Structure 1
């Protein structure tokens, strides 16, 4: 009995010491540890966002794009080879777009007109992110509202989705309350060189002079 009692007491003392040590550890280390983890997390986030906002390097750009088999707005086959031998402007959108697409195509037509002969070797494409509704006929009529210089490109939904993915374009169908749908999508114009490689972007709503200078740099 005494031994068991002593063992219990010994156990109680050990338990008490453990609790005291735990409390000391919590007081001495928990706040610094939490601050350290927090600061490391903040630094990690800053590093990530800094990296993500940096313009892509040539090596990274060379991995954007890929083979595709689509059709233009006159029903003719279009492959990645169509982007070779001349610089191109590529915009991904859809004909049922209420605002961003018509605004961008209007601006593209304006750039081509302003550049005049400078843009003779430049081609402009309007790739559909909504091939279910954007037939070649629909695309041809739609692009004709802006200029005959912009070539509409559509095709099989699977092939179209592949092109969208390969060019790192965001495109998502958004159902409407009335049963219809719209498309959320990347709103930038892609600047593609004569090798068919991405060399930059023109952001939606970018200043006209800035956009024109980017195109002139692409044409050099």
Structure 2
């Protein structure tokens, strides 16, 4: 063997020896425990959600049939009786007041009308009530002494001027009921025998009441715009 051949063989042997030693270094020794594997989070993997947290995309826990989750329907609640609107009532004691009962009976006979005057006649045996309609027409009704029965109903003759004046009276803000309330508040225990709506020279509307108070008679004036008592004088 030539020198070159021996050199090549020696190099080849050293390479084989190095390869063998490298492989031997990677083999774990007997009885050794391989290192514990480390858990690696995989991108996109779901982690355990905290208790009570909502999972995206999950349907809500409340069932559509669950009454507790459904809102109350609008208007389903019963309205409170105290909130309901009530029509205007007659003043206290009107059931025993022939004057107001006569007015109510007259208005039943003339739907949509407004009382402009009430007057006791024949010593309280009958009542005369004048009722105005929106177009300015006027009706005169006579009623029984207790005010419960209409005994006559007559249409008054009215010209254009009368109708214009009647329409003004028809628009009074304070009606006969409120006027009577004001009068009786001014003269408690009094008995109204006459109540009339009138327009003064300045165009102001007032209710003029004749009130029997025992042995005397008083004249009480009520503002038909505000319901305020303007005068209370002894009738001479």
TM-score, reference length from structure 2: 0.28
Higher helix share: 1
Higher strand share: 2
TM-score, reference length from structure 1: 0.30
The one of the two structures with greater contact order (alpha-carbon pairs below 8 A, sep at least 6) is 1
